Amino acid sequence: MADGLTLEEALGAVRSAEVTIDPGTSSIYSEEDLEVAMIRVKCDFAARDIVSTGY
């Protein structure tokens, strides 16, 4: 999402801890590709939080 929130965070279903994801550099993937991958990882962890808490 535009503010760096996952959908689950925006809906108030979960609160994420402050984390820093360092994608490093890549000669294969663009900066945009790496950013999308970081968002997907964040969303995956948010979805696991919802399942584990039964929200």
Q: What tens digit of pLDDT does each residue of 39-55 get?
A: 888 788 777 766 565 55
Smallest CA-to-CA distance from 51 within 9, 14, 19 is with: 14
Q: Where are the domains of the chain?
A: 7-53
Mean pLDDT of the chain: 75
Token pair for 7: 């959908």
| Location of structure tokens 């995956």 | 44
pTM of model > 0.75: no
SS3 state of residue 48: helix
Query: What mean pLDDT is predicted for residues 1-14?
Result: 66
Question: What is the arithmetic mean of pLDDT over 19-48?
Answer: 84
Residue 21 has pLDDT above 90, yes or no: no
Neighbours of 8 (CB within 10 A): 19
